Structure 1
């Protein structure tokens, strides 16, 4: 196949040029698959033990709180030590927690608080390892391949997001809770293998200060770097103002008679659009203005959701949600490219932690906002108003941050508009 025919598809060059990245991606993909299988399992187990929506909601809280509370401190720690060693430690911790969940799944008789406590500790190790892993792609790949590497990460995650819950449900029905948790524990073995062969990855430049001072340095960088700040604000605006997932059941009941088939289509359309955009991301990852791509992607996400709120044809709605999912994925790839190519290595752990906090808090707050607005008005009103607010917020960020629109990634040197290496 000619090079020209390959160009529309995802850029696989990092897999060919970097064996270390290839091993890391394989381990990460298997671990993400195990994680989604475990997520279905813990939701099933907690509901089976309690039949309480409050306890089911506590599962999300046990996952999100460690990242929100400890993420920046974990990022500061990652900016003081060998990121490879920190990631390996966190991976072992997550594997042990999954193994303990498997043991309680086989033995039973563990209270729901014990299950949630193990899940929270598991999430603490994830909060430790996430900022350390944030430096892997820009340290393993040349700068011109960073966007392609992030796109490969994105497409693997989205594919596992579709496959993992379905496979988890099948294993649950076939072998039970303990086996699902055990498979998740084994998946961390591959993640450990993927990272074990990496070279030491200490920070390049001034190491983070300890405690609150290191966190404050990271926040100072975020406040002062207009491009990175604009990227994170854009993502936060898109998720907080227009996250649609909590509204789908209500809109389905209001507009489409509550048919479960249309509800299933709506919930899968965003993911299918995202996977399609990742698979066809080759041209996007080669563009030299990722900030402009991100702004257009976030704006298209808001516009598509606003139009979806006005429609009564389910197939047209399905098409708009495909567009929304594709736009969101394009925006996410571009945002990650901006963060990882504009942030000095010595600060990348803390900035990655902030990105993870935005990724955890934004969708949850967005679903809460959507539910509250829908309770006061209607599901369609919540969708339309959220999409329009997202468009306005993206327009404001774009007009007030010209560096975000104009800055190009420089393959051979620092990004245009980058600030000094340390606060």
Structure 2
């Protein structure tokens, strides 16, 4: 029994009251946020009847996420982070309330919904790097990977429960109630942020202009370990994220109707299910010291999982079978698990390696990479599938991921050798 318990998630970070409050609040607010993520495109489709307008929501969400993600990182390095979290959380609550009011009033102006979405994402883009930059001040550095795993498990849990709940609730209570639930859920986060200790700026006062953002990129370019961690994530997401192929695969390979069906939903949920399981059974993470090597191995395994996924899709074509569908889902779930572990290690490396005055800006870059990489991957896989088919596009992308990992290991030997510091080394840091 004790051996099994050691494999479960390391919960030591939850012994720190401030982190525990933030984490518990996140369970509620992530589900609430996922309700809105479903509600916004659904409302846009109800107003316009056009998938093109629904697709346009991606532009209105991504542009402010990139712009304010980078600037938000600079703000997090120049201002009291607790105060900045308070402001952005209040902004998120205000936009959720406005979403509720316009839906309850029967709004039929799609551009009002688009603008509210852009404003919401701007607040979110500042909030997230600020929240992440605070964590090293709340818990010991040897628990950063475990804290990241706990946070990502909650995010993936919300990605499963939120959309399912939204699908059940929309016909019963309507879109306006989903927006209201999101705004109420955010009050829990506001309480957790209010209870945080002050997070003043360390050192001299810093600017928050473009020069500050540029300084963050210069810092990143000179830190090869951090640069490698971002590069391997970009490789994994651009070449190895086949989600844009799921609708075509569900229809052509697994027999779904063109309008969508069970297979489509299962394909989209599989990675999140795997990520949650990876988080639940992440108790071994604190025992891994060669974190750079662990990231490379996990990303390579992600690539191999996508190779297997493509092969199972090819075997099922045409018409599909339940057997090949389940094998494809297992491959995606395994990929989601190793991706979650990789992300936990990468986040720990970033938070521990970066200096405090740069953590916010690097978290801003992290947000941009996480948001932008999969979207570039959507384009790449869509173009590839049009030329060589879905199965080859998925498997070929996985092969490119493995090749990219090998190249990174050769080009960045310091990252390959990166080892988390021992307790004695951490004690002698200062």
TM-score normalised according to structure 2 size? 0.92
Q: CA deviation digits over 1:120-170, x for unaligned, max 9?
A: 111111112122111222110011111111111011111111001111222
| Alignment correspondent of 2:287 | 286
Moved over 6 A (4+): none
Secondary structure of the residue aligned to 1:282 is coil
TM-fit CA distance, 1:252: 3.3
| Alignment correspondent of 2:138 | 140
| Alignment correspondent of 1:27 | 25
TM-fit CA distance, 1:266: 2.5
| Alignment correspondent of 1:337 | 348
Selected match of 2:417 from 406, 419, 422 = 406
| Alignment correspondent of 2:8 | 9
**Residues 47 and 108, structure 2, Cα contact 8 Å, conserved in 1:** no
Q: Distance in 1 between matches of 2:74 and 2:25?
A: 25
Secondary structure of the residue aligned to 1:134 is helix
CA RMSD of aligned residues (A): 1.8
Q: Distance in 2 between matches of 1:345 and 1:407?
A: 19
User: Which stretches in structure 2 are left out of the alignment for 5+ residues?
Assistant: 316-323
Cα distance change on mapping 1:281 and 1:206 into 2, 3 Å: farther
Q: Which moved more, 1:193-202 or 1:167-176?
A: 167-176
Q: Distance in 2 between matches of 1:119 and 1:342?
A: 34
TM-fit CA distance, 1:318: 2.2
Q: Distance in 2 between matches of 1:239 and 1:402?
A: 22
Q: CA deviation digits over 1:353-375, x for unaligned, max 9?
A: 00000011001110111011111
Selected match of 2:156 from 155, 158, 180 = 158
Q: CA deviation digits over 1:243-271, x for unaligned, max 9?
A: 11111222334433347443333222211
TM-fit CA distance, 1:110: 4.3
| Alignment correspondent of 1:66 | 64
Matched, 1:49 2:50: no
TM-fit CA distance, 1:413: 6.9
Q: Distance in 1 between matches of 2:206 and 2:216?
A: 9
**Residues 303 and 388, structure 1, Cα contact 8 Å, conserved in 2:** yes
Q: CA deviation digits over 1:237-294, x for unaligned, max 9?
A: 1001121111122233443334744333322221111111111111023311221111
| Alignment correspondent of 1:120 | 118
**Residues 342 and 414, structure 1, Cα contact 8 Å, conserved in 2:** no
Cα distance change on mapping 1:77 and 1:177 into 2, 3 Å: same
Number of residue pairs the alignment of both structures matches: 415
TM-score normalised according to structure 1 size? 0.94
TM-fit CA distance, 1:236: 0.8
Q: CA deviation digits over 1:65-121, x for unaligned, max 9?
A: 112122222211110110010011000001001001101111113400001101111
User: Which stretches in structure 1 are left out of the alignment for 5+ residues?
Assistant: none
| Alignment correspondent of 1:97 | 95
Matched, 1:310 2:311: yes
TM-fit CA distance, 1:319: 2.1
How do 1:1-400 and structure 2 match up within 5 A?
Answer: 2=2, 4-15=3-14, 17-258=15-256, 260-311=261-312, 312=315, 313-400=324-411
Q: Distance in 2 between matches of 1:315 and 1:167?
A: 24
